[in-house]
Chains A and B, each alone.
Chain A
Amino acid sequence: EAGVVQSPRYKIIEKKQPVAFWCNPISGHNTLYWYLQNLGQGPELLIRYENEEAVDDSQLPKDRFSAERLKGVDSTLKIQPAELGDSAVYLCASSPDRGRINEQFFGPGTRLTVL
């Protein structure tokens, strides 16, 4: 079974530039999460999807962050414009059906550096 795929693995941009991250969850996993992880911290939820519906985006800074999961499979997270404080690792995770919602599988993450 292939794991959660994320790209790019690393991204360096200048502040005020846009950036996008892509995630392909494990096949058949309906729930998809985007997390932000700062150095020395645990993951913090940005947005959670059930199929193509964003069911929890309360922690997503909507002035600059956006996300989509158009066909309920892969997802894109965008930041525009990026700020210095956005430097972090962006993790994508997926879970199987509702009965196993506690089983999250994480991708390797995208490490963003904003200069």
Chain B
Amino acid sequence: QKEVEQDPGPLSVPEGAIVSLNCTYSNSAFQYFMWYRQYSRKGPELLMYTYSSGNKEDGRFTAQVDKSSKYISLFIRDSQPSDSATYLCAMSLGNQFYFGTGTSLTVIP
């Protein structure tokens, strides 16, 4: 079993839709929970990180962590074509990082 599981998609939505991206994990000791966005032929870009269970909002993006269920989500409101990218979840334990496989998202104008 992988430490972090993420549905690779692909996910295709119309512009303006609410997008939900999810990851599950197995190690309850993970401390930080991150979401990265990766455009084609670019490196991952850190979008948000959270430490505890609950929600964290940044503009159109909301990160949600449920430690009891070992489940994290990223919600994108009013999705735009520029949001089309691969979204990677990641978790850290000390200085070690564990990445999901990424979910490919396409927002159709």
Contact = CB atoms under 8 A, between A and B. Distances in A.
Interface residues of B, number: 24
B101 A55 contact: no
Contact of A45 (B6, B36, B41, B96): B96
By CB atoms of chain A within 10 A, which of B6, B43, B46 has the most? B43
For chain A, the bracket of interface size reads: 20 to 34
Interface of B: 4, 6, 8, 31-32, 34, 36, 41-46, 49, 88, 90, 92, 95-97, 99-102
Given A105-B46, A109-B42, 15 more contacts: A31-B95, A41-B101, A42-B4, A42-B6, A42-B99, A42-B102, A43-B88, A45-B96, A55-B95, A104-B34, A104-B97, A106-B36, A108-B43, A109-B41, A111-B41
Interface of A: 4, 31, 40-45, 48, 55-56, 91, 93, 101-109, 111
8 residue pairs, one from A and one from B, having the closest CB atoms: A42-B99, A106-B43, A102-B32, A106-B44, A108-B43, A109-B43, A107-B43, A43-B99
